Structures are given as C-alpha cells and as structure tokens.
Chains A and B, each alone.
Chain A
Amino acid sequence: MRFVEEFRDASLGRAVAGEILSLIEPGRHYKVMEVCGGHTHSIYKYGVDDLLPTNVELVHGPGCPVCVIPMGRVDDGIAIANEPGVIFTCFGDMLRVPGSEGSLLEAKAAGADVRMVYSPLDALRIAKQNPDREVVFFAIGFETTAPSTALTLKRARAEGVKNFSCICSHVTIVPPLRALLESPDLRLDGFIGPGHVATVVGARPFEFIPADYGKPVVVAGFEPLDILQSIAMILAQLAEGRCEVENQYKRVVPYEGNPRALDVLAEVFELRPHFEWRGLGFISHSGLKLSEAYAELDAELRFSVPGVRVADPKACQCGEVLKGVIKPWECKVFGTACTPERPIGTCMVSSEGACAAYYNFGRFAREREVV
C-alpha cells in the first residue's frame, strides 16, 4: 500500500541511523520522549531502538488511551454493564483492564452482556437492532478517537435513537504533557509528538513546549522511518541550538489540524474541571464530558455509577512507567505476576502500553548499557 511500504525501507533506515550518529555530541546523554503509545509499539516491533546510539534513550510517555484509565473508572463501567437490560460495548482491550473487583471480561463471564466493538458506530448499530435494550458505549481515547464518538452521538440524536448512551472517558493530550514537564524527577531533551492526535488538533497546540519549557517537538508518523527521521530532526535542533515544533508527518498532519473534526468535538464535548489519570493523579481540564446539548446521551446521568476513586494495587508501578521514571522491566511484577494474559496494570493490557510492547517483543531486561 502507498504511504506504508516506502516508510519501512531498511537501507534508508540505516542511512538515517548514520545521520543520527553524526548529530550526537560525544559524552552527552539524550532523553527523548515518544508521547504516543503507538510510537512505543512501533519502536519495539521494528527494533528502532537497536539502530540508535547507546546515549540516545527513548522514554515512553502517557499516550496510551487504555493505560491512563484509572481503576475506579473501570468499576463505573462494570456497574453499568451489570444493570439489567444493558448491552455494554467497548473496544477489545478495555475488556481486560482490571477494576477493583475484576475486569469487564470477568463481568461478561459472570453474565453481563458485554460486547467488543471496533467503532462506536458499531455500538449505535447494536442499539438500533435492539430497541428494547439500553446500549452503552465506553468511550476512551485521545483526540484521535473522540471525533468518532462525537459523530456517533450526533448520528444517534439525529436518528432519534433513544436507547443509546455513552460513558465518556475521553482525554486530551496537552494537560498531561504540561504536568510531566512540571515534574521535577524527569529530565527530557525533546519530544516525538503524537502524529495522529495532531491530525485532529494540528501541531500548533504543542508550541507551548518549546516556548515555555525550551524543548524541541517533532510531530511524527508511525512507520520506522518516520520515527528515525523524527529523532534525527530533534537531534539536529539540539545540535543547531534551535527549539521549535516541526512536522515530520506532513503527508497526514496539517499544521492547523482537521477543522471539521475540531468543530464536531466542540459541539458534542466540553472539558471536565478535572479528570483522574492512572499514575498521574487528577489533572485539570484534561478530560471530556458530553456537552449540555448532548446530556440526554450521557450514561453517567442515565445510570447510577459508583464514581469512587480506587488506589492502584501496591505491586503495580504503571504510574512510574507512564511518567517515564522507570523502564517496564524495572517494575517488580513485570513478566511474572503481570503479563498480557493476566495483567495487573493497564500498561500490560493494550498493545500500545509500554509494558506490553516490552513483553511482546522480548525486552525482559536491560540489553543496552546506556552511557
């Protein structure tokens, strides 16, 4: 397929790796955060880190939509799924995220009607096929997935589908990045910006990172050459003393984003005053809820939810992994008590989670000595 194979060319990859080598300053240690879990997945799937000099370290950021969902939010979803007559729908990886008393998959095994969908539009279709049942969609994800939920809600309202509603756990990427940059225990040299979020919001929202914190940002695509080139662009900025937002993913990302998607988001959602992120705590204006005009489709208003904050299991160190403070294999339960088959923490659930990426691609321990 066009726009895919040409960005996986091995000889070009080696050429960009050589360019990266020429840009580093001997003796300096570089820490670059890839914000998006999709980048983490690609880095380990394609072995991108093996092409990097040992003093270029990749730090994994909080951009995995499943990983940042706190346990209490899963409990809210399970409470609705257990309501009589409810068909509860969600993306597949949400099924395995542990709540305080089990996962949605376990609720399904115990008799709740929980179904996996690939799109909220599939959930709406189920609602139209089952007019005598209440169909609820568990909406998660960043600005990439939120437009899909918004379009579905618009369609539900336009078609008068009364038995459909949504428990909204959509989040936005800029507030947690600001929280990370304020964190005293994290020193970063630059950011690989989230390409698909930027498809919707554009590259402009990331301008605060160079302006306020003096760190370069390169919005990047998800193929191995995209990631290598974005690292080279960050290192070039550092070598030349520049600090700005650059767009490596121009074949997809317009600098100003997708205005139609932004319009539909503004119509359907509004910012919550604060939202809890797993491992990062409460962050102001970082979560979305349904706007007043769409309140009738809000499952949190239609059903009773516990809304209780639940602390992570003591053994789980997802918070430190999400903040990039530790590597997945440094977690006490990584690959032993916590595996993709039986996850304790969210980072082991989704393919975009750093722990799952390390586990699935055989990174069980430190393999590269960092200078």
Chain B
Amino acid sequence: MSTSPEATPACMGDHCITCADEGVPMTIMGIDDQRRLALCTDVSGARHAVETALLETVTIGQVVLVHAGVAIAALGGEMAA
C-alpha cells in the first residue's frame, strides 16, 4: 500500500483530524434557529456548521460538545467536583 497523505497518522493534535468519533468542545458564534444549525469555532479557531437539534436551548457564547457534526451536550451544567 502506498503512503498517501490520507494514510499518514495525523492525530497528534488536540483532536484527530480524520476521525469524527471524537468529542470536540466548540463555542457558538451564530445561530440559525430555523435550520437548527449553529456556527461554532473550535479551540484552534476553525469554524464549523453544527447541528443543534439534540440540545434544548443554544445561546451565543455557549460551549458545546460536538460529535460528528452534531452538538450532543452543552458544557458547564455542573462543574466537576
């Protein structure tokens, strides 16, 4: 098998760039309520369109946990003991 760019390990940063099965905290910068989408930025500043249908409420500035393009939780509900 040849070693193409896709075949090299690229998972040394905070999050694996190829595997979407990773929870990534992102900050909500903009909200499209009608389409249940939010514009979010991750820790590196990269912007993502994120599905928010699984959250009851979303607000600008909120940090959410994103898995495979979908926000599955809002962070900060109760800080760790």
Contacts and interface: CB of A to CB of B under 8 A. Distances in A.
Interface of A: 1-4, 38, 41, 65-66, 91-93, 95-96, 102-103, 105-106, 109, 116-122, 140-142, 144-145, 147-149, 151, 195-196, 199-200, 221-222, 226, 229, 248-254, 258, 260-261, 264, 340-342, 350-352, 356, 360
B9 A196 contact: no
Contact of A4 (B9, B11, B25, B81): B25
Most buried by A among B20, B23, B63, B65: B20
Contacts of B27: 1-2
A151 B52 CA distance: 10
Interface in B52-80: 53-56, 63, 65, 67-70, 72-73, 75-80
Given A356-B9, A360-B12, A144 B80 contact: no
B68 A145 contact: yes
Contact of A105 (B6, B20, B67, B68): B6
Given A105-B1, A140-B21, A252-B65, A151 B8 contact: no
Contacts of B34: none
A92 B43 contact: no
A251 B76 CA distance: 4
Contact of A144 (B3, B21, B81): B21
A251 B1 contact: no
Contacts of B43: 1, 4
Contacts of A2: 27, 63, 75-76
Given A116-B18, A341-B8, A351-B11, A144 B23 contact: yes
